[in-house]
Amino acid sequence: MNSRNWVRLFLSTLLVGAVITSIAGFTLKWGEYQSLFIQGEIVEILSVLFWFIGLGFIFSIISQMGFFAYLTVHRFGMGIFRSVSLWNNIQLFLILFVLFDLIYFRYQLFAIKDESVLSYVLLAIAILGFGLVVAYFKMRQTKKSAFVPALFFMVVVTTVEWVPALRVNEADWLYLMLIPLLACNAYQLLILPKITGKGNGKRLD
């Protein structure tokens, strides 16, 4: 990837992060901000909007760091194991391990007395489901062997990027960070071959 393509990817991903974070922020906290819109408090609305845009930039940068880190890890994995099937099997194992962690360990650490594990399961399933959809489109965009690496990136790398919010474990922050991360990661994964023309060896396949 040349510098022009990198700048294009960087700026467009920043925009995705800012827009999605702003939408998610106002949606998640609508009960808190609804009165501002009703009363027409333009200055207050803009100040909140700029706050969400700033957060979106941060989440976008975290996403981009994770993306380029995984491109490097993926190439190392392919080089070390010298077998697409073996490397894919290792990634599938790590996906299952991370999903188990998201359910079991979060439940053990944060569940209150008599709280059901269902909400923890549903969140993990939602991340997996979104990852499967993105991986499917990535496979259609490139080839079948790209499915598992794309799924790994969407599940495992997103979860690693999400750790700051996971440690806080406040519902608003969990979703406010997760939604932009998923959006930015999906965007980068699917747009990179289009930006570079043919991927220049950087496709997750």
State the pLDDT at residue 34.
84
pLDDT of residue 152: 97
Instruction: For residue 27, give both structure tokens.
Output: 């949606």
Q: What is the pLDDT of residue 200?
A: 41
Give the pLDDT confidence score for residue 201 in this predicted structure.
42
Q: What is the pLDDT of residue 202?
A: 46
pLDDT tens, residue by residue, 105-147: 899 888 888 888 999 999 999 999 999 999 999 999 888 889 9
Mean pLDDT by 10 residues, the chain (205 residues): 83 96 92 81 89 96 95 88 86 96 90 87 96 95 90 97 91 93 96 71 49
d(CA 105, CA 136): 29
| pLDDT at res. 40 | 77
Residue 198: predicted pLDDT: 56
d(CA 170, CA 168): 6
Please report how the helices 118-141 and 84-100 are oriented relative to each other, as an axis angle in degrees rounded to 10.
Answer: 160
The domain ranges of the chain are 3-196
Predicted confidence at residue 27, as pLDDT, reads: 92
- When the pLDDT of each residue in the chain is averaged and rounded to a whole number, the result is 89
